[in-house]
Each structure stands twice: as C-alpha cells, then as structure tokens.
C-alpha cells in the first residue's frame, strides 16, 4: 500500500560481515600503521648529504612534546573535530527530518535483538570510514618516509657527524654518507621528514570534516558553510606553518603531507561514502513520494541569502496579460478608420471609399466578435 510504513528488512549477515570483514580490515590497517611508526620492521633508507648544506644544518628545536603543536594536541584535534561535526550534523538532520521521510527509511533487523536504524547506519558508516582513513593516511605518510629517507632541517644537529673525517674541510661541494654519532632514536626520526605525517593527518581530518559540512550542512546562508569550512581548514594550515617555523620540516614535506591527506579524504568521500548521501533517500524521494497522508508542502524555489532575496524581488515581475488577437486587430482597424484625412485617400481601400459616414460610425461601434467572426470561428476550431 502506498501509505503504509515499510516492514523492517531482516538480514542475518550484517553483523558477521561487520565483525569479520569490516573490523578485520580496520584491525589490519591499525597493525600496519603501528609497525611503520613504532617498530623497526621497515628500516628507513639512509641518505647522505652535501657538506655545508644549509638546508639540513638548522638547530635542533627540541623534542616533539615541546613544540607549539605537540603530537597529543594534534591527534586529539584530528580525531575529535570530525567526529563531533558528524555526530552533531547527523543528530540535527534526524531531528529536523519530516515524519513521513522517517517512515520511508527502512530499518534492518538482525535476529530478534538488534535493530539498525538509518541514523545508526549512517553514523557507523561515516565514522568507520573516517577511522579507516586516519590509519590509511598514516600508512601512506609512513611508507613515504621509510622509502625516501628525507632528512629534516635539523638533521646535522642530531646526527653529529665527523665532518673533518668525511672530508668536508676540502673546498667545493662534496656528497658524503651520513656516519652519525648522535642518539639513534633522534637520528631515525630526523630521517623521516618527507612527507610530514602530522600535516597529512591534519589535512585529512580537515578536508573530511569540511566536505561533510559542505555536502550535508544546513542550507539557508551563503556564508555559514564557507565560514565553517575555513575554520576547519585553518588548523591544518597553521600546523604546517608551525612545523616549518620550528625547523622540523621543509615546505616540500608539508605540501606533500597536505596532498596525501587531501587525496585520501577526497577518495573516501566521493567513492566510499557516496558524498555522505543516503542510498535509499534519493530513490524513495523520487519513487514513493509522501507517506502516511502527510504530503510535503509544495514550496517554490526560494533564495538562500538576503541579497538574493532582494535581487529576486527586484528582478521578477508578474507576466503581463497578453491581449487577444482579435483585440489587437480591432484596435488597429479603429486606428486606421480614425486617421482618415479630410478629402484624402483612405488608408484601407477596401473600406474607406465605399463606406458612408453613417457606415463608418456603425463600424466603429460594432463589437469585436462581430467584426472578426471568421477569426472567432477559426479559434474555436
């Protein structure tokens, strides 16, 4: 029946698929990211350097915890801001959703205990894909660091090579192998500068949240969503500036990190979560229409901003009533009959010379449908 609420869809495979497939892939991603970041399972490529190279001779800025953007703060913002944005957006959309649209969306039942409502499914899908993207971004950035072995701007300060023994006292440019005598932990971290992992994570979280606000955020203002998006993107940019200013990364490292995080976020949003859209809502909105007798009001397209409302009010005018063809022809005939010059030739030869003044007067006073009887008959046919 058209107005009946759809029965809940039952599925016995949704929970096993989620536990053994989705969570299995996520666990494997987390494990690989941990191996790249905190173990020596993947040795870092050891590159040499040019003697007297100022790009890697900056002073040591101190441990990461002493930075103006410490890792704990970065990781907290990266995980909390998009999660909070998605939670608030989905709950607000569910509360504002019309009742007839809620009735159209189906609930998936698994057994006799578990019911997966549309709100719960969207939250699990969006937040689950976001979590997967965080670890995927970490893997891409870590793999690039391990393979390239690019040195940080403060590499020589923590490496402490014997430049005299390496022949750097000789004139001219000289490329030498890095025989470091400093702390191995600091040296290993200084060899992993390209791409910047923090910049990649910041860009990923910012772009993911900004795309969610852009695609799902509330309508009604031209500046609200751009302002929110810029506010979400600004911390990632400031993070890159801070790392360059503290001589922890080069600009190329930051830009490569931004590109990595943005690419992962754009891919997941467009190809995995389908631009944060509901697969069922669009199809039901086109096919089923309103449900339960509560038809949505027919609303004409309205502008979203006060300036657009003003332009619409100034530019839109009600259409003028087009006069009937018989009225136009009658007015033209009357105009021709009234401008006859005294003693001159009549503009309409078929009527002017052959009509007496009394006939002309009667012709002027004749109703239009009598004058144009053939036209009225033709219009009826």
Concatenated DSSP letters for 125-181?
Answer: HHHHHHHHHHHHHHHHHHHHHHHH-PPPTTHHHHH---TTTTTTTSSS--EE-----
56 cis-preceded (ω within 30 degrees of 0): no
Residue 294, SS3? coil
Average pLDDT of the chain, as a whole number: 76
Strand partners, 10: 109
Contact in structure between 106 and 9 (CB atoms under 8 Å)? yes
Contact in structure between 48 and 176 (CB atoms under 8 Å)? yes
Q: Which of 121, 143, 88, 128 is nearest to 8 (CA)?
A: 121
Beta strands across the sheet bearing 114-116: 9-10, 108-110, 114-116
pLDDT of residue 109: 55
How many percent of the chain have pLDDT more than 70?
64
Lowest-pLDDT choice from 19-23, 216-220, 233-237, 311-315: 311-315
Q: Around Cβ 292, how many Cβ atoms within 10 Å?
A: 14
Overall pTM surpassing 0.85 (yes/no): no
pLDDT band at 370 (very low <50, low <70, confident <90, very high): very low
Give the chain's count of helices (H) and strands (E).
16, 5
Residue 91 phi/psi, 5° resolution? -65, -40
User: Of residues 362 and 12, which shows the higher confidence score?
Assistant: 12
pLDDT of residue 171: 77
């Amino acid at each position: 029946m058209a107005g009946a609420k759809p029965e809940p869809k039952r599925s016995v495979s949704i929970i096993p698929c989620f536990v053994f497939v989705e969570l299995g892939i996520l666990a494997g991603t987390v494990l690989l990211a941990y191996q790249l970041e905190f173990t020596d399972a993947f040795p870092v490529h050891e590159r040499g350097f040019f003697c007297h190279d100022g790009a890697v001779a900056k002073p040591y800025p101190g441990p990461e915890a002493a930075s103006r953007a410490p890792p704990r703060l970065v990781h907290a913002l990266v995980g909390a801001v998009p999660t909070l944005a998605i939670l608030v957006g989905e709950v607000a959309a569910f509360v504002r959703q019309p009742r007839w649209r809620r009735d159209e969306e189906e609930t998936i039942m698994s057994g006799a205990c578990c019911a997966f409502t549309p709100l719960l499914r969207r939250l699990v899908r969006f937040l689950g894909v976001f979590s997967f993207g965080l670890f995927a971004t970490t893997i891409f950035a870590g793999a690039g660091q391990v393979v390239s072995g690019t040195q940080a701007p403060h590499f020589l300060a923590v490496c402490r090579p014997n430049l005299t023994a390496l022949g750097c006292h000789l004139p001219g440019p000289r490329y030498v192998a890095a025989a470091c005598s400093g702390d191995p932990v600091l040296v290993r971290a200084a060899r992993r500068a390209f791409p910047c992992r923090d910049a990649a994570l910041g860009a990923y979280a910012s772009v993911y949240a900004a795309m969610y606000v852009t695609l799902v955020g509330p309508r009604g203002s031209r500046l609200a969503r751009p302002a929110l998006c810029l506010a979400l993107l600004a911390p990632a940019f400031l993070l890159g500036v801070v790392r360059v200013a503290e001589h922890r990364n080069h600009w190329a490292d930051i830009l490569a990190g931004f590109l990595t995080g943005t690419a992962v976020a754009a891919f997941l949003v467009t190809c995995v979560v389908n631009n944060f859209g509901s697969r069922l809502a669009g199809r039901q909105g086109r096919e089923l229409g309103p449900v339960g007798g509560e038809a949505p009001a027919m609303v004409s397209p309205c502008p979203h901003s006060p300036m657009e409302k003003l332009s619409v009010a100034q530019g839109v005018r009600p259409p003028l009533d087009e006069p009937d063809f018989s009225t136009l022809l009658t007015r033209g005939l009357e105009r021709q009959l009234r401008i006859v010059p005294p003693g001159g030739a009549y503009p309409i030869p078929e009527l002017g010379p052959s009509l007496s003044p009394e006939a002309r007067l009667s012709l002027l006073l004749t109703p239009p449908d009598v004058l144009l009887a053939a036209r009225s008959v033709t219009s009826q046919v």
